Amino acid sequence: MRAAIVLGLLALVLPSLAAGQTRPDFSGDWSLDRSASSLQGDMTAVEGGVLRIQHREPTFEFARTFVIKTQPIDTSFEIQTDGREVFRDNRGVSSRSRMEWQGSSLLLTVLIDAPRGMVSNIVRYELLDSGRTLRAVEDVGGAAPPHHNVWMFVRR
């Protein structure tokens, strides 16, 4: 009988403890740590970069500038972290994107309908070192040459 009571209490308490866990806030200004990063393919040409994230759950705003051959290349997007798929059409190139929580990581999945076929870009964002380091593990495949990049950023 006691075992049943203990198991019943655990069944009530554990879900509430898990629900009470806070998800990390990825907001901040970040600088690329090129020497700590592991890059492949065209990304080996990246000389440096900065990243700004404004994360107010469930909204994730991303703005990045990479420097390649002294030229800045900007990328930005806004997406929700609820896993809902977003469709975009940019000058005839369509894409589907979604971002979702996997534990304390955010997983971004982008599928691009490129002229040569479907390209996938999957990026896992994680905070390390008590939030001082942002790691973005990126896998590109499909119609694009496959590559695996590990981007390391330090908080500015």
List the domain boundaries for the chain.
23-155
pLDDT over 70 at 7, yes or no: no
Nearest to 97 by CA among 66, 120, 124, 75: 120
pLDDT over 80 at 112, yes or no: yes
CB 136 within 8 A of CB 125: yes
pLDDT for the residue numbered 13: 42
Q: What CATH architecture applies to the domain 23-155?
A: Beta Barrel (2.40)
pLDDT over 90 at 109, yes or no: yes
Q: How far apart are CA 48 and CA 152, in angstroms?
A: 11
Average pLDDT of the chain, as a whole number: 89
pLDDT over 90 at 11, yes or no: no
Mean pLDDT of 33-54: 96
Mean pLDDT of 79-90: 95
pLDDT bin (cut points 50, 70, 90) of residue 90 is confident
Mean pLDDT of 65-83: 96
Predicted model pTM: 0.84
Say what the alpha-carbon torsion angle 26, 112, 87, 124 is, to the nearest 10 degrees.
-20
